[in-house]
Structure 1
Amino acid sequence: MASSSPATGQARSGNPLEEWSGRVKALEAGFRKWMAAQPTHIEAAVTTAVGAVQGAALGGLMGTLTADGGSPFPVPQPPPNANPQAMASFKQAQALAGGPLAQARNFAVMTGANAGISCVMRRIRGTEDIQGSMAAAFGSGALFSIVSGMGTPNPVANAITTGAAFAVFQGGFFMVSP
């Protein structure tokens, strides 16, 4: 027996999960329609913020699951009189095995930058293509390198190297994805 919803006047199905799923899809469709009508800078800002929030949540969760004692990779301690190369390796280990807040920050920067750059490239080029995807990956990799403190002896070279590695991987994923 279907009843009418007082707020919408629509007939309700018997399955509350289907009803909730339909409402979420309608909300998402409305949001996408609104975003398509916005100028590039508004869409880029919103997309970047949403990507950053998603990345922060994922990074915080991963940092919590691998924090102290639960980490499969123990964080190495630097030698007392470490040379710059050893300190660079130590900084990289800290960046990858930091606590929940460090992980949340790193993932927020990485995913937010990727989403924002990808959005702008899609708007400029008019399509989602491998060049835009690789540009977004390069930017997010370079920013991740800078924010996480990797590459102490030469942060610019490390940012470029990390960005290039992210771009190569993303290009490969783009080519093999359906």
Structure 2
Amino acid sequence: MWWNKKEKKEVVLVVGNENPLKELDKKCKEYKILFDQWVVKQSLPGEASIATVAGAVRGAALGACLTSLVDHVLPTFNLPPRPATLQSNIPGCPPSLVPYKPIISGGTLAQARNFAVLTSVNAGLSCGLRRLRGKKDFETW
């Protein structure tokens, strides 16, 4: 218990019988709804910048998780070793398309940065176009 100094009322915390994780999930959803309502009230540059930052955070988390997952899971498949040279038998084939080259190259931080850039640009552009056109991009087809 504690006292609310403004209203001079005693406040009692009541712990419900509901699962604490469900209560936390419900509170997070309430805050997300309030945040989304606040974002919609912002100007176009404000909403686009908020969407861009949110996309960057989401992309960085996705890139870090994906890279760490690939680093831990790929060794269990016992893939054949990569060729010692990056030469291809196909004339004009760039080194990036040489067989057995890993799909995700670079460290965890590099991939987190790459995913953050790609998802933030996508989120910002999609948000701006949605506000300008009045509908989502995939609804235009």
| Unaligned 5+ runs, structure 2 | 5-10
Q: Report how many aligned residue pairs link the two structures.
A: 125
- Aligned partner of 1:61 among 19, 41, 65: 65
CA RMSD in angstroms, aligned pairs only: 3.4
* 1:5–1:21 Cα change, 3 Å: farther
| Unaligned 5+ runs, structure 1 | 133-170, 172-178
1:33-65 CA distances to partner (integer Å, 9 max, x unpaired)? 110111111111111111111111111111112
* 1:94–1:102 Cα change, 3 Å: farther
Higher strand fraction (1 or 2): 2
Show the counterpart of 1:45.
49
Q: Which has the larger radius of gyration?
A: 2
Show the counterpart of 1:89.
97
Q: Does the residue aligned with 1:28 lie in a helix, a strand or coil?
A: helix
Whether contact under 8 Å (2:67, 2:104) holds in the other structure is: no
Q: How far is the alpha carbon of 1:14 from its aligned partner? A: 1.6
TM-score, L = length of structure 1: 0.55
Q: Which has the higher contact order (CA 8 A, sep 6+)?
A: 2
* 1:18–1:65 Cα change, 3 Å: closer
Show the counterpart of 1:152.
none
CA distance in 1, matches of 2:43, 2:23: 33
* 1:99–1:75 Cα change, 3 Å: farther
- Aligned partner of 1:128 among 119, 136, 141: 136
CA distance in 2, matches of 1:14, 1:114: 42
Q: Amino acid of the residue matched to residue 38 of structure 1?
A: Q
CA distance in 1, matches of 2:36, 2:130: 15
Q: How does 1:12-161 map to 2 (within 5 A)?
A: 13-15=16-18, 16-67=20-71, 70=74, 77-79=85-87, 85-89=93-97, 93=101, 96-130=104-138
TM-score, L = length of structure 2: 0.67
Q: How far is the alpha carbon of 1:95 from its aligned partner? A: 6.4
Higher helix fraction (1 or 2): 1
